[in-house]
Structure 1
Amino acid sequence: MMRRTVLSLFLVTSCAGATGTAQAEDTPFSRSVSIEDKVLPGRLLDETFTEDIKIGSPSAISEVGQIRFPVNEHFYKFEILEAYTLKADGRHVDVAPDKILVSAVPDAPTLSMFEADSKLRTIVFPDLAVGDTVHYKIHMKEKEHVLGGNFSLLTALAPTQRYTSYQLTLDAPKNLKLNEADAGFSKRLDEVGDRQRMTLTLNPQPFRMREPHETDILDHGAYFAISSYPDWNAVGQSFFKGADAASRPSDKIKALAEQITAGIDDKLLQAQAIRDWTAKNIRYFNIILGQGGFVPHPADQVLQNRYGDCKDHVTLMRALLAAKGIQADFALISLGNNYAEPSIPGAYWFNHVILWLPAFNRYTDPTADPASAWVLPALDSDKVVLRINADNSQLERTPALHAASNQLIVKMALTLSPEGTMSGSSETTGTGAVAINLREVAANVALAGGDNLAHTLMQKQNWQGTGTIEAHDAHDYDEPYRLKATMSATTNFLKGKSHPLPIIPRLVVPAYAVIGQAVEEGFKQDFVCRAETFEQDVTLHLPPGWTIDNLPAASAVSAGPASFSLSVNNSGDTIAFVRRLVVDPPHQKCSPADAKAMEAAVSAMREAIGWHPEFKARA
């Protein structure tokens, strides 16, 4: 799908860093960047990008000693103008021509992506030492628009990148209306004859490590966006032009739609059957050739190949739906951790596409094969989307997760033997986005085996013993989705130090863990959170003559949009308790203050799970 980045950063991926001038001795590197962009006739871009990376520590040499540029030659003409090492004594050591390497961009197996038009240029800098500066200047010219007849630039600068200076100058015709938005930059506008010049200069940006689960820099950091798209409808219709043509149903598509929906009269159920068939039968793989990164393949070709990327999935599903008279609109979306509404119209805000079915008021993501038809993955939830049909394109937002429909329930029966070991069986059920996580576990069971996966998960929780996870169809879309497991822990619970109860193997990490981490580690930035109901329903069978000396009392805690409850039932040799935590923030972007508001309930759950029972022989 479309990449969210400025043209220059689309090409430049220089591992850790870059440059500057004055720097403290303990700074491993610093970066100085200058970008000159010019808008050519046809609104194509011509760019010169210059970067200097000053090396302040030996560890930085391996990071910046080779700079890589993945270039899509279908869209860009690319050349390296300068490349040398600037020694601390002022000498220039040029990069030899045979040390500028050209190769195919390796495919990305985890993303199932192969970029056929892309070439990787690698500059290998010579004779590097602490105090030297890596310098390069590249030029590239856009040959063809990535999407439609306009351009858009978008980048965010993380505070880990150690910029001492960063400046972008855009030269454009005076009569070209530009949309621009930025944060953390100073802006200057000049007019020279029939041209306009916009200069953006990064304000001082102190170094800061990013926090775990932090939202995207676009939501709260330094960024700039510039676009010649007049409005969101122009963006949407540029995408629609290619995607609509690819998703018109052929006779073959119509015949398949009839086969999939045979015996189903209800239109909603027909749509569900089509979505499920697409998710099950079209695997994710993307060969990017020409405009293939932005325009889907025809539905017939996707069907024949039985693979495709997100655009191809929605194109085929949309064609199948059209064959049954069901309208489906495209919905461009971002899978990143950005939740703020885009500030100006542009293509690079989005990197994924799903479908909106207006007749049913529902979104669906046919690329997400572990999801049931009308459940969006967490990455799709509470996100701004650009909904597109033949008439218009408009920004909307997908529904956020809610605790009532996103539930993780673990029921476990444990038995403590007279020898002190413990065994048990569990059933973990999930609804909503949690069910997606469980289906992914089921897929891993099919690949690795239930015994092996259970062993790995138990080790991650620092438990020794054996276990297994029962196989279950990962494409069973009924909810709640259930997985069963058994385990036997070799720990002796009757001798030595006490231990928490082994609620293992843990198949899904509950959502409250991030909120607890935010409070414990003192997060300063907004972070990604999700609403969820988490419950542990545990029955513990004791050996004859044994009891628990420190059995907790029932309790309940409410804290903002979170609540905790603990119920306990002691009937002698059998003890049953239910721990339940509901966290229900209204959005999937939480602030440190939001985490603090839920702290009491989350802490109560963490304390309940961390409880160490003290077993005692009855007198």
Structure 2
Amino acid sequence: MTRIVRRLRAVAALPLLVGACSASAVFADEAATTTSTTSTSAADDVAPSTLERDVHLFVIQKDGSVEEHDDSTLRANTTSGVDDIAQRYVWFNKDIEHVDLLKAETIDRDGVAHPVGSEAIRDVQEPRSAGAPTFEDGVLRTVIFPGVEPGARVHLVFRKTRTKPLQAGAFAYLVEPTRGPVELQQLIFDLPDDLPLYADARGYTALPPVTANGRTRYTFEYRHGTYAPIEAGAVGYATWGDRLMVSTVPDFATFAAQYRSAAADPTANDPTVTSLAQSLTAGLTEPADKARVLYDWMRFNIRYVALFLGETAAVPHKVVDILRNRYGDCKDHVALYGALLAAVGIRSEAALLNLGPFYTLPAVPGYGASAINHVIVWIPELHLFADTTAGGIAFGTLPTGVMDRPVLLDGDGTLARTPAVQPRGRTTRLQIDVDASGTGTFAYRVEDSGAPAELERNVFRRATHRQAQQIAADRLRQTGLHGTAHVSTSDVAATRGPFATTLQGTLEHFTWPDGTTALPALTSFAGGLATQVQAWLAEPERTQPWVCIGGDFDETAEIALPDTLRVTDLPTDTAVRDGFFDYASHYVFDPATHVLQITRRLTAQFGHQVCTPDQFAQMRGTLQRIERDALSQVVVKAGRM
């Protein structure tokens, strides 16, 4: 696998690719619209850097071994472009690959070449290995170019030889644009002519294959000018934009079978594994309870080393070694959790998918940043997925990053899908008592339920007392208020169910004792209903698919004012309902008690995690009405009623 940072993001998981089939994207219409906008938009700003020429030749053998020749030239157009190109990295697996730098030089604006000295080339450990010895095979060869300035170019040529395939007899490669201008990129795959290459090329032009001397060359070319900006909240570009995936594996069923075969491990039945599983589940009879207890033990006791699937050999470590070391990557988590489940009579399968903002898979199988890069567990008899690498997610729920996307089950090689939605709720109760000086004392209780509950619990579970109090101060400050805040929580040792936090403190100058004050009609601090609506409205218009996650909000506030103030203006009750939202607010001021009561309730239902630009256009008016109400103010004036 080669990954040249900033210009070419490539992920080679298995050995290589073939043929020509075009993938159909879930958002094909939106992709076409966006691509057109991208290619025709007249951006007057100069791109910081440009990929002038980038040629990658892969010579692949039937056993999956590969020799790769890379020759690339990048130009810095601006000062910020110097940072883009002046330091480049070549990723390799030191256990099975060897890299030879054939040329590394800076070419100044006058065309004079300045070679990179040996002192500016060094190997550094892949930082995500986190010091775990069994993951120290990933290395970054760092090349620091001298004298780079606007108008200069950097030229890097290297050869990388992989003598042992990541997966025997297979090869795959993923290329995604890094969204800088490309004058010419060429990817050439040279294979034995009886080893076909399958490709999903979107935005990349496939040239006619050339066969000679028992081998066939497949060439793909790519050119692109300035890209349109990625919109706030948009799904990953490769979901709908340009991408090339090639593979010698013909279909997903074959890919799953290869993973399953490689993951077979006789140590999964080791007595230490069986004994642990049975002791943890002693006294439990229901499979769901057993699976939950084992899940919780995994997420709290097996440290997750965050290397994506396919960056190293797609073979889990031995279960007994994972258990002994108490750490592992995603495939190791699946191997050990699966073995523990099996020890108490619960069958499970590996489910391969993409972890991240990408909601489709390429039409041909392979590993990569926007392809398969993660694996979780599927428990058929419970009809649920489980991801033990997500330490802050309760059993029965999933991290947002693996929701609503295709998964490949290794049991029978079929494509399934993770749940599109799961329960999410937040209830807030805010009380503020304001004295005659304008200082307020407050109590603010938030109860999260469903998927967010364990995330919030995990934040405080891992925080020291001082850190927890800093979180409280930050949440007050992010709301735009000044004062003091102290936090207390419900039981952080629990592993499921709702989770509550309570903030108490003071507010400085919440009202002015004389003159007129416009009070924010708060029902929650930062992170509540108003924050969520503003996030959905982060763009005035959308041309790209975007992430839309629904939920239920129930917010109530009581603000007690001194009798030295009178309310002169109160927001009007609002009720809004459409195909996505059901919202209502109510305001009432009791002059006898000087108490203002505000309630807001919002239910957002999208039915999935990805919305289209057309859907945003349909809901924008409703969202703007909700936002205006959620940010409304109450006007008070000095003087008795």
Match of 1:606, SS state, is: helix
Q: 2:424 aligns with which of 380, 386, 406?
A: 406
Write the mapping of 1:581-596 to structure 2, written as runs, cut at 5 A.
581-596=602-617
User: 2: distance between equivalents of 1:67 and 1:426?
Assistant: 49
Q: 2:85 aligns with which of 31, 41, 64?
A: 64
Shift of 1:439: 1.8
Please tell me the residue identity of whatever aligns with 2:138: S
The answer to whether the aligner puts 1:517 opposite 2:509 as a matched pair is no
CA contact (8 A) 2:523 2:600 kept: no
Label 1:445 to 1:64 Cα distance change in 2 as closer, same or farther (>3 A).
same
Label 1:502 to 1:451 Cα distance change in 2 as closer, same or farther (>3 A).
farther
Q: 2:386 aligns with which of 345, 364, 372?
A: 364
Cα deviations across residues 13-33 of structure 1 (Å, max 9, x unaligned)?
A: 24799xxxxx99944321121
* 1:4 matched residue in structure 2: none
Q: Which 10-residue stretch deviates more, 222-231 or 195-204?
A: 195-204
Shift of 1:169: 1.5
Label 1:102 to 1:158 Cα distance change in 2 as closer, same or farther (>3 A).
closer
Match of 1:201, SS state, is: strand
Q: Which 10-residue stretch deviates more, 175-184 or 294-303?
A: 294-303
User: 1: distance between equivalents of 2:200 and 2:311?
Assistant: 27
User: 2: distance between equivalents of 1:411 and 1:289?
Assistant: 43
Write the mapping of 1:433-448 to structure 2, written as runs, cut at 5 A.
433-443=451-461, 445-446=463-464, 448=466
Q: Which 10-residue stretch deviates more, 453-462 or 216-225?
A: 453-462
CA contact (8 A) 2:444 2:502 kept: yes
* 1:321 matched residue in structure 2: 341
Q: 1:275 aligns with which of 289, 292, 295?
A: 295
The answer to whether the aligner puts 1:301 opposite 2:295 as a matched pair is no
Please tell me the residue identity of whatever aligns with 1:185: Y
Match of 1:523, SS state, is: coil
The answer to whether the aligner puts 1:415 opposite 2:409 as a matched pair is no
Shift of 1:312: 2.4
Q: 1:463 aligns with which of 473, 476, 481?
A: 481
Please tell me the residue identity of whatever aligns with 1:548: V
Write the mapping of 1:163-182 to structure 2, written as runs, cut at 5 A.
163-182=182-201
* 1:485 matched residue in structure 2: 503
* 2:586 matched residue in structure 1: 567
Shift of 1:255: 1.8
Label 1:358 to 1:148 Cα distance change in 2 as closer, same or farther (>3 A).
farther
Shift of 1:327: 0.6
Shift of 1:336: 1.4
User: 1: distance between equivalents of 2:287 and 2:83?
Assistant: 59
* 1:87 matched residue in structure 2: 108
Write the mapping of 1:217-616 to structure 2, written as runs, cut at 5 A.
217-245=237-265, 248-285=268-305, 294-348=314-368, 349-389=371-411, 392-402=412-422, 405-443=423-461, 445-446=463-464, 448-495=466-513, 497-501=517-521, 505-506=525-526, 511-518=532-539, 520=540, 522-544=541-563, 546-572=565-591, 573=593, 574-616=595-637
Shift of 1:399: 0.6
Label 1:308 to 1:101 Cα distance change in 2 as closer, same or farther (>3 A).
closer
Q: 1:45 aligns with which of 66, 81, 87?
A: 66
- Listed as ranges, the gaps of 5+ residues in structure 2 are 10-42
Q: Which 10-residue stretch deviates more, 344-353 or 133-142?
A: 344-353
User: 1: distance between equivalents of 2:482 and 2:266?
Assistant: 54
* 1:20 matched residue in structure 2: none
Q: Which 10-residue stretch deviates more, 311-320 or 219-228?
A: 311-320
Question: Aligned pairs, how many?
Answer: 598
User: 2: distance between equivalents of 1:553 and 1:126?
Assistant: 64
* 1:3 matched residue in structure 2: none
Task: Compute the RMSD of aligned alpha carbons.
Answer: 2.8
CA contact (8 A) 1:56 1:130 kept: yes
Write the mapping of 1:14-29 to structure 2, written as runs, cut at 5 A.
14=6, 26-29=46-49
CA contact (8 A) 1:16 1:64 kept: no
User: 1: distance between equivalents of 2:466 and 2:527?
Assistant: 14
Q: Which 10-residue stretch deviates more, 461-470 or 245-254?
A: 245-254
User: 1: distance between equivalents of 2:532 and 2:266?
Assistant: 39
Label 1:115 to 1:327 Cα distance change in 2 as closer, same or farther (>3 A).
closer
CA contact (8 A) 1:70 1:118 kept: yes
Shift of 1:546: 4.2
* 2:16 matched residue in structure 1: none
Match of 1:601, SS state, is: helix
Q: Percent identity?
A: 23
Shift of 1:497: 4.3
Please tell me the residue identity of whatever aligns with 1:584: Q
Shift of 1:155: 1.6
Structure 1 length normalisation: TM-score?
0.89
Shift of 1:127: 3.2
Label 1:126 to 1:258 Cα distance change in 2 as closer, same or farther (>3 A).
closer
Label 1:79 to 1:513 Cα distance change in 2 as closer, same or farther (>3 A).
same
User: 1: distance between equivalents of 2:148 and 2:321?
Assistant: 50
Cα deviations across residues 474-506 of structure 1 (Å, max 9, x unaligned)?
A: 442232222222232112313554231455653
* 1:126 matched residue in structure 2: 146
CA contact (8 A) 2:570 2:633 kept: no
Label 1:54 to 1:524 Cα distance change in 2 as closer, same or farther (>3 A).
same
Shift of 1:358: 0.4
Shift of 1:447: 5.8
CA contact (8 A) 2:69 2:157 kept: yes
Label 1:338 to 1:608 Cα distance change in 2 as closer, same or farther (>3 A).
same
User: 1: distance between equivalents of 2:351 and 2:386?
Assistant: 10
* 1:13 matched residue in structure 2: 5
